[in-house]
Amino acid sequence: MQSDNEKMLQEIVQNTEMGKNTLDELISLTHDQRLKDEMMRQKREYRRINQAAHTALDAIGAEAHGQSAAARMSVSMGIRTRTMMDKSTRNLATMLAEGSGQGVLDCKRAEKDYPTASPGARKLCQELGDFQSTAEQTWREFV
């Protein structure tokens, strides 16, 4: 059975992969260099936090379980549907703000669901939530 610590770290891995994968899909759709630069900056931060979660999972002898193929496909289809007719900066930024907001909620939920997670896992989850909260505000500036 997975410990709260492992479950929280798995949530962090999945959350950061969702962010990275979404940014990968959206970055090719914009011609707005400012938006593209911010997407690259945030993608690097997601990658850094993802690697920290992988390292922590390795340290406890657990294997990271990232986003499932079905989840990736669902996100990809949602993105294609929402950008089919509108690839504007405003639409992309709106989608990113919504995704960041959902990521914040997912972190808050993990903090409540896994109360006995290690201080390190809790700190990383808090860091991810703070990053996504700031990201949400950043994306709103593009709207």
SS (H, E, C) 99-137: HHHHHHHHHHHHHHHCCCCCHHHHHHHHHHHHHHHHHHH
Quickly list DSSP for 13-69: HHHHHHHHHHHHHHHTT---HHHHHHHHHHHHHHHHHHHHHHHHHHHTT-------H
pLDDT tens digits for 120-143?
A: 999 999 999 999 999 999 999 999
pLDDT of residue 49: 98
C-alpha span between 4 and 8 (Å, rounded): 6
At residue 9, φ and ψ (nearest 5 deg) are -65, -35
pLDDT digits (tens, 9 = 90+) for 50-95: 999 999 999 999 999 988 889 889 989 999 999 999 999 999 999 9
This prediction has a pTM of 0.94
